Amino acid sequence: MATSTVSDDTFEAEVLQSTTPVIVDFWAEWCGPCKQISPALEEIAQEMGGKVKVAKLNIDENPSTPSKYGIRAIPTLMIFSGGEVASTQMGAQPKGKLVDWINATISATV
């Protein structure tokens, strides 16, 4: 499963109402570190497809959702489980650290 794109309009249905934990990547086209972690997130989406969904939300095109969740720096990754923020990770991290963070968060919320 590849990453999906969510917007202010689809955020509730795609993320908050999801029965699977969702990692939301708050990013922007001009953000260098966002582009650095994008390939790792694509790989994670493929490898962990049954356990989590990976969604990307462009903060420039969708300003309401980032402001609702207090996004002040990008990239910011949030894991949503059961409609709530389960964990937040700011800044670019290597794939291994992201996978460890995701696994720790998912096992704590199940």
Question: CATH number of the domain that 27 lies in?
Answer: 3.40.30.10
pLDDT score at 110: 59
Q: For the chain, how many structural domains are there in total?
A: 1
Give the Cα separation of 80 and 70 in Å (integer): 15
First to last CA, the chain: 21
Of residues 22, 34, 52, 57, which has the active-site annotation?
A: 34
Q: Whole domain around residue 89: which residue ranges? A: 4-109
43 is catalytic: no
Mean pLDDT of 44-64: 95
Lookup: tokens for 100: 């460890």
Mean pLDDT of 58-62: 97
Measured CA angle at 82 (ends 105, 14), to 5 deg: 105
Of residues 6, 23, 24, 31, which has the active-site annotation?
A: 31
pTM: 0.95
State pLDDT tens for residues 75-102: 999 999 999 999 999 999 999 999 999 9
Is 60 in a helix, a strand, or coil?
coil
pLDDT score at 92: 94
Closest CA to 80 of 68, 92, 72, 91: 68
31 is catalytic: yes
